[in-house]
Amino acid sequence: MITCKQVAEALSSGDVERRGVWERWRVRVHLWMCDSCSRFARQLRDIRQAGRRLRSAYDKEQRSGAGDSLEERILTKLEALPSEGETKQ
Amino acid sequence: MDRAGGPDHELLSRLRKRDPELLASLVREHSRPLYRAARALGFSEPDAEDLVQEVFVTFLSSLDRFEGRSQLRTWLFGILHKKAMERRRAQAREGRHDPIDEVFEARFDAQGNWSAPPRDLGRLAEARQLLDAIQHCLERLPPSQRAVFVLREMEGFETKEICKITGVTVTNLGVLIFRARNRLRECLEERGWGKRK
């Protein structure tokens, strides 16, 4: 019988999918029967979703800046760099 | 452009000549993901932008080492990771021992059953509170754990790619992800997630 701790370790390190069919089935059955472990799995899912929301927030933050866009500012800098042929002369 | 095959001589030759069209498409495709990863790694808006510029400058000045063997995205994130760590100069201070391992252990009894079961995190969290909380907790992660969390959970990189970017082994990556997730969980529970109103 797989323990709650083993299930929590497998879920936290994200290697459940890399385990064999039997192992994956044991984790799935355990999650089906154990409220605490399924809550733990939900926590990890919530954290992943929160990370994705944060990612969208950073995307919006970038677009709200005044003046040239980030891309334009980077391009201006890159275009000012000498090409390899020029630097080796 | 973003290919996983052998050396792409045409791509390299155009990059060496600073082909403006290619540079523009490269910057358009990759600057935003690099910027938001830099922000998620804890850099301020101007520092994140500066870092992204540095990534492209470094990429163009080290084309000899890039042969198109790895995906361009992975290569650029590898430079970002290195630059971010250089700026932080913190990786060396992270020891092998991490107190989060003991916090995790303390959650279970000798039989491996929960002695302190987890709470339901998301149900009660408002969107704004959730963002503030995750940002606050991310800031408390050690740099290498934060980096793997950003790459895996926010940018969706695969294990192999994260190992290439950060230079850690698959086993070590599992440990870092394990610690990052559990530290975030503990931090979010402490911040009041899961407490019923």
Task: Give the model confidence (pLDDT) of A1-38 as tens digits.
Answer: 789 999 999 999 887 777 788 888 999 999 999 999 99
Q: Is B1 a domain residue?
A: no
Q: What is the CATH number of the domain that holds B59?
A: 1.10.1740.10
Using the 3D structure, point to which of B47, B66, B89 is the last residue of a domain: B89
Looking at the fold, whether B107 and B78 belong to one and the same domain comes out as: no
* DSSP code, position B114: B
Question: Could you say which of B16, B113, B175 has the minimum Cβ distance to residue A4?
Answer: B113
Looking at the fold, whether B107 and B31 belong to one and the same domain comes out as: no
pTM, full prediction: 0.78
Using the 3D structure, point to which of B89, B109, B130 is the last residue of a domain: B89
Looking at the fold, whether B82 and B103 belong to one and the same domain comes out as: no
Contact at CB, B185 and A5, closer than 8 angstroms: no
Looking at the fold, whether B140 and B71 belong to one and the same domain comes out as: no
pLDDT of residue B30: 93
Cβ neighbours around B123 below 10 Å, total? 11
pLDDT of residue B68: 67
For residue B3, pLDDT beyond 60: no
Looking at the fold, whether B26 and B53 belong to one and the same domain comes out as: yes
Looking at the fold, whether B57 and B103 belong to one and the same domain comes out as: no
Q: What is the CATH number of the domain that holds B185?
A: 1.10.10.10
pLDDT of residue B126: 63
Closest to B136 (Cα-Cα) out of B192, B194, B197: B192
Question: Could you say which of A46, A54, A71 has the minimum Cβ distance to residue B122?
Answer: A46
Structure confidence at residue B2 as a pLDDT band (50, 70, 90): very low
Question: Residues B44-71: what's their mean pLDDT?
Answer: 83
Q: Which of A81-85, B89-93, B110-114, B186-190 has the lowest mean pLDDT?
A: B89-93
Q: Return the higher-pLDDT residue of B123 and B26.
A: B26
How wide is the angle at C-alpha A40 spanned by C-alphas B112 and B115, nearest 5°?
Answer: 35
Using the 3D structure, point to which of B29, B56, B89 is the last residue of a domain: B89
> How many domains does the structure of chain B reveal?
2
For residue B40, pLDDT beyond 70: yes
Looking at the fold, whether B172 and B103 belong to one and the same domain comes out as: yes
pLDDT of residue B91: 46
Q: Is B110 a domain residue?
A: yes
Looking at the fold, whether B72 and B39 belong to one and the same domain comes out as: yes
Question: Residues B95-100: what's their mean pLDDT?
Answer: 70
Looking at the fold, whether B56 and B140 belong to one and the same domain comes out as: no
Q: Is B115 a domain residue?
A: yes
What is the residue range of B39's domain?
Answer: 9-89
Q: Is A85 on the interface with B (CB under 8 A)?
A: yes
The burial of A73, by beta-carbon neighbours within 10 Å (0-12 exposed, 13-18 middle, 19 or more buried), is given as middle
Exposure pattern of B82-105 as b/e (b: 16+ CB <10 Å)?
Answer: ebbbebbeeeeeeeeebebeeebe
Check: complex ipTM more than 0.85: no
pLDDT of residue B177: 93
Mutate to test the interface with B, among A46, A73, A87 (most CBs of B within 10 A): A46
Looking at the fold, whether B131 and B157 belong to one and the same domain comes out as: yes
pLDDT digits (tens, 9 = 90+) for B123-178: 545 667 778 888 899 999 999 999 999 999 999 999 999 999 999 998 899 999 99
Over chain B, what is the mean pLDDT? 82
- Residues contacting residue B24 through CB under 8 Å, at least 6 positions apart: A71, A75
Looking at the fold, whether B44 and B101 belong to one and the same domain comes out as: no
Q: Return the higher-pLDDT residue of B156 and B3.
A: B156
Q: Is B196 a domain residue?
A: no
Contact at CB, B175 and A13, closer than 8 angstroms: yes
pLDDT of residue A83: 67
Q: Is B195 a domain residue?
A: no
Looking at the fold, whether B52 and B115 belong to one and the same domain comes out as: no
Q: Is B197 a domain residue?
A: no
pLDDT of residue B94: 58
